[in-house]
Homo-oligomer: A and B are copies of this chain.
Protein backbone atom coordinates (compact mmCIF):
# COMPACT_ATOMS: atom_id res chain seq x y z
CA UNK A 1 0.00 0.00 0.00
CA UNK A 2 1.25 3.44 -0.99
CA UNK A 3 1.27 6.08 1.76
CA UNK A 4 1.06 9.70 0.60
CA UNK A 5 2.32 12.39 2.95
CA UNK A 6 0.27 15.15 1.39
CA UNK A 7 -1.71 18.34 1.88
CA UNK A 8 1.29 20.53 1.03
CA UNK A 9 -0.76 21.96 -0.61
CA UNK A 10 -4.04 20.06 -0.84
CA UNK A 11 -4.49 20.81 -4.57
CA UNK A 12 -0.99 19.52 -5.36
CA UNK A 13 -1.87 16.28 -3.59
CA UNK A 14 -5.00 15.91 -5.71
CA UNK A 15 -2.87 16.61 -8.79
CA UNK A 16 -0.46 13.84 -7.71
CA UNK A 17 -3.34 11.38 -7.13
CA UNK A 18 -4.75 12.19 -10.58
CA UNK A 19 -1.35 11.51 -12.17
CA UNK A 20 -1.05 8.30 -10.18
CA UNK A 21 -4.38 7.12 -11.63
CA UNK A 22 -3.60 8.31 -15.18
CA UNK A 23 -0.22 6.57 -15.24
CA UNK A 24 -1.45 3.25 -13.79
CA UNK A 25 -2.23 0.54 -16.34
CA UNK A 26 -5.86 -0.10 -15.32
CA UNK A 27 -9.18 -1.00 -16.86
CA UNK A 28 -11.24 -1.09 -13.65
CA UNK A 29 -11.15 0.24 -10.07
CA UNK A 30 -9.48 -2.89 -8.73
CA UNK A 31 -6.42 -2.46 -11.01
CA UNK A 32 -5.45 0.71 -9.17
CA UNK A 33 -2.91 0.93 -6.35
CA UNK A 34 -4.28 0.90 -2.81
CA UNK A 35 -3.35 4.25 -1.32
CA UNK A 36 -3.63 6.00 2.01
CA UNK A 37 -3.33 9.77 1.86
CA UNK A 38 -2.69 12.05 4.78
CA UNK A 39 -3.64 15.54 3.64
CA UNK A 40 -1.90 17.36 6.47
CA UNK A 41 -2.90 20.79 5.20
CA UNK A 42 -2.29 22.51 8.56
CA UNK A 43 1.46 21.82 8.16
CA UNK A 44 3.13 25.26 8.41
CA UNK A 45 4.58 26.71 5.22
CA UNK A 46 7.74 24.81 4.26
CA UNK A 47 9.39 27.65 2.36
CA UNK A 48 9.00 30.14 5.23
CA UNK A 49 10.53 27.67 7.68
CA UNK A 50 13.59 27.09 5.46
CA UNK A 51 14.25 30.80 4.97
CA UNK A 52 13.84 31.26 8.74
CA UNK A 53 10.63 33.28 8.89
CA UNK A 54 8.08 30.61 9.81
CA UNK A 55 7.12 27.86 12.21
CA UNK A 56 8.78 24.42 11.93
CA UNK A 57 6.60 22.06 9.86
CA UNK A 58 8.56 18.95 10.89
CA UNK A 59 6.40 17.84 13.86
CA UNK A 60 3.31 17.92 11.60
CA UNK A 61 5.04 15.86 8.90
CA UNK A 62 6.35 13.37 11.43
CA UNK A 63 2.86 12.94 12.91
CA UNK A 64 1.37 12.33 9.45
CA UNK A 65 4.13 9.81 8.68
CA UNK A 66 3.41 7.88 11.87
CA UNK A 67 -0.29 7.83 10.93
CA UNK A 68 0.47 6.40 7.48
CA UNK A 69 2.72 3.75 9.04
CA UNK A 70 -0.04 2.81 11.48
CA UNK A 71 -2.50 2.44 8.57
CA UNK A 72 -0.29 -0.16 6.92
CA UNK A 73 1.56 1.84 4.25
CA UNK A 74 4.49 -0.08 2.72
CA UNK A 75 6.16 2.81 0.94
CA UNK A 76 5.90 6.61 1.27
CA UNK A 77 5.73 9.41 -1.30
CA UNK A 78 5.68 13.15 -0.55
CA UNK A 79 4.10 15.22 -3.36
CA UNK A 80 5.79 18.45 -2.26
CA UNK A 81 9.27 19.34 -3.48
CA UNK A 82 10.08 21.76 -0.66
CA UNK A 83 9.15 19.18 1.98
CA UNK A 84 12.03 17.04 0.68
CA UNK A 85 14.33 19.31 2.71
CA UNK A 86 13.18 17.06 5.59
CA UNK A 87 13.44 13.83 3.54
CA UNK A 88 16.57 12.49 5.29
CA UNK A 89 15.21 13.33 8.75
CA UNK A 90 11.86 11.68 7.98
CA UNK A 91 13.62 8.63 6.54
CA UNK A 92 15.42 8.20 9.90
CA UNK A 93 12.01 8.01 11.65
CA UNK A 94 10.76 5.01 9.70
CA UNK A 95 11.84 1.71 8.19
CA UNK A 96 9.48 2.28 5.25
CA UNK A 97 11.26 3.52 2.13
CA UNK A 98 10.43 7.16 1.36
CA UNK A 99 10.80 7.78 -2.39
CA UNK A 100 12.74 10.95 -3.24
CA UNK A 101 11.14 13.22 -5.84
CA UNK A 102 14.52 14.26 -7.34
CA UNK A 103 15.53 10.63 -7.81
CA UNK A 104 12.19 10.05 -9.56
CA UNK A 105 12.96 12.96 -11.91
CA UNK A 106 16.50 11.76 -12.66
CA UNK A 107 15.32 8.16 -13.18
CA UNK A 108 12.82 9.53 -15.69
CA UNK A 109 15.61 11.40 -17.53
CA UNK A 110 17.70 8.26 -17.66
CA UNK A 111 14.92 6.07 -18.98
CA UNK A 112 13.77 8.48 -21.68
CA UNK A 113 16.30 11.22 -22.41
CA UNK A 114 19.95 11.88 -22.82
CA UNK A 115 21.94 11.84 -19.59
CA UNK A 116 24.15 14.56 -18.14
CA UNK A 117 22.02 17.50 -19.20
CA UNK A 118 21.67 20.86 -17.49
CA UNK A 119 18.48 21.21 -15.47
CA UNK A 120 16.75 24.55 -14.88
CA UNK A 121 15.04 24.61 -11.50
CA UNK A 122 11.73 26.43 -11.11
CA UNK A 123 10.94 26.00 -7.42
CA UNK A 124 10.06 27.77 -4.19
CA UNK A 125 12.75 29.91 -2.59
CA UNK A 126 12.81 27.32 0.19
CA UNK A 127 13.57 24.47 -2.22
CA UNK A 128 16.32 26.50 -3.89
CA UNK A 129 17.90 27.69 -0.61
CA UNK A 130 17.74 24.18 0.86
CA UNK A 131 19.52 22.78 -2.22
CA UNK A 132 16.92 19.99 -2.52
CA UNK A 133 17.57 19.59 -6.25
CA UNK A 134 21.13 20.89 -6.61
CA UNK A 135 22.93 18.36 -4.41
CA UNK A 136 21.10 15.34 -5.80
CA UNK A 137 21.46 16.49 -9.43
CA UNK A 138 25.22 17.04 -9.06
CA UNK A 139 25.63 13.64 -7.36
CA UNK A 140 23.97 12.00 -10.34
CA UNK A 141 26.02 13.82 -12.98
CA UNK A 142 23.68 16.66 -13.97
CA UNK A 143 24.37 20.38 -14.06
CA UNK A 144 21.76 22.92 -13.00
CA UNK A 145 20.77 26.57 -13.24
CA UNK A 146 18.61 28.25 -10.61
CA UNK A 147 16.98 31.64 -11.33
CA UNK A 148 18.78 34.84 -10.32
CA UNK A 149 17.57 36.44 -7.07
CA UNK A 150 15.08 38.89 -8.61
CA UNK A 151 13.77 36.18 -10.96
CA UNK A 152 13.36 33.82 -7.99
CA UNK A 153 11.05 36.31 -6.27
CA UNK A 154 8.92 36.36 -9.45
CA UNK A 155 8.77 32.54 -9.39
CA UNK A 156 7.73 32.60 -5.72
CA UNK A 157 5.06 35.18 -6.49
CA UNK A 158 3.69 32.95 -9.27
CA UNK A 159 3.55 29.94 -6.93
CA UNK A 160 1.50 31.97 -4.45
CA UNK A 161 -0.84 32.97 -7.32
CA UNK A 162 -1.43 29.25 -8.08
CA UNK A 163 -2.26 28.58 -4.42
CA UNK A 164 -4.78 31.44 -4.62
CA UNK A 165 -6.28 30.00 -7.83
CA UNK A 166 -4.96 32.68 -10.23
CA UNK A 167 -3.56 30.29 -12.83
CA UNK A 168 -3.50 32.53 -15.91
CA UNK A 169 -1.23 35.20 -14.45
CA UNK A 170 0.97 32.56 -12.81
CA UNK A 171 1.36 30.76 -16.14
CA UNK A 172 2.53 33.99 -17.82
CA UNK A 173 5.19 34.70 -15.18
CA UNK A 174 6.45 31.11 -15.13
CA UNK A 175 6.73 30.93 -18.94
CA UNK A 176 8.99 33.99 -18.90
CA UNK A 177 11.18 32.43 -16.19
CA UNK A 178 11.37 29.07 -17.99
CA UNK A 179 12.51 30.85 -21.14
CA UNK A 180 15.26 32.70 -19.21
CA UNK A 181 16.55 29.35 -17.91
CA UNK A 182 16.59 27.89 -21.44
CA UNK A 183 18.52 30.99 -22.63
CA UNK A 184 20.99 30.33 -19.79
CA UNK A 185 21.84 26.95 -21.35
CA UNK A 186 19.41 24.53 -19.70
CA UNK A 187 18.43 21.46 -21.70
CA UNK A 188 15.37 20.78 -19.59
CA UNK A 189 13.28 22.59 -16.93
CA UNK A 190 12.14 20.89 -13.74
CA UNK A 191 8.82 22.34 -12.59
CA UNK A 192 10.10 21.65 -9.09
CA UNK A 193 7.19 22.91 -7.05
CA UNK A 194 4.01 20.85 -7.18
CA UNK A 195 1.99 24.02 -7.89
CA UNK A 196 3.94 24.88 -11.06
CA UNK A 197 2.62 22.11 -13.35
CA UNK A 198 -0.90 23.27 -12.42
CA UNK A 199 -0.12 26.63 -14.05
CA UNK A 200 2.00 25.32 -16.93
CA UNK A 201 0.00 22.17 -17.69
CA UNK A 202 -1.86 23.50 -20.73
CA UNK A 203 1.08 25.23 -22.30
CA UNK A 204 1.12 24.52 -26.03
CA UNK A 205 4.18 26.67 -26.66
CA UNK A 206 7.61 25.66 -27.89
CA UNK A 207 8.60 25.24 -24.21
CA UNK A 208 6.38 22.20 -23.62
CA UNK A 209 8.87 19.50 -24.72
CA UNK A 210 11.46 20.82 -22.25
CA UNK A 211 9.23 20.93 -19.17
CA UNK A 212 9.55 18.02 -16.76
CA UNK A 213 6.84 17.42 -14.18
CA UNK A 214 8.32 15.98 -10.94
CA UNK A 215 4.81 15.23 -9.63
CA UNK A 216 4.25 12.94 -12.59
CA UNK A 217 7.73 11.44 -12.25
CA UNK A 218 7.01 10.68 -8.58
CA UNK A 219 3.64 9.13 -9.48
CA UNK A 220 5.35 6.88 -12.05
CA UNK A 221 8.06 5.92 -9.54
CA UNK A 222 5.28 4.86 -7.12
CA UNK A 223 3.68 2.72 -9.82
CA UNK A 224 7.03 1.04 -10.54
CA UNK A 225 7.60 0.51 -6.82
CA UNK A 226 4.24 -1.29 -6.74
CA UNK A 227 5.61 -3.70 -9.38
CA UNK A 228 3.61 -2.26 -12.28
CA UNK A 229 4.75 -0.78 -15.57
CA UNK A 230 3.50 2.85 -15.89
CA UNK A 231 1.58 3.65 -19.07
CA UNK A 232 3.77 4.77 -21.99
CA UNK A 233 4.70 8.46 -22.21
CA UNK A 234 4.67 10.61 -25.33
CA UNK A 235 6.50 13.44 -23.53
CA UNK A 236 7.81 13.45 -19.94
Contacts and interface: CB of A to CB of B under 8 A. Distances in A.
Interface of A: 7-11, 13-14, 17-18, 21, 27-45, 67-68, 70-72, 163-164
Given A36-B36, A37-B36, A42 B30 contact: yes
Contact of A14 (B7, B14, B45, B164): B14
A164 B25 CA distance: 11
One complex includes copies of this chain to the number of 2
A163 B29 contact: yes
B28 A17 contact: no
Given A17-B17, A70-B70, A70-B71, A10 B32 contact: yes
Contact of A71 (B21, B29, B31, B71): B71
B32 A9 contact: yes
Nearest to A66: B71
A14 B18 contact: yes
A34 B27 contact: no
Contacts of A72: 67
Nearest to A17: B14
A38 B21 CA distance: 15
Nearest to A18: B14
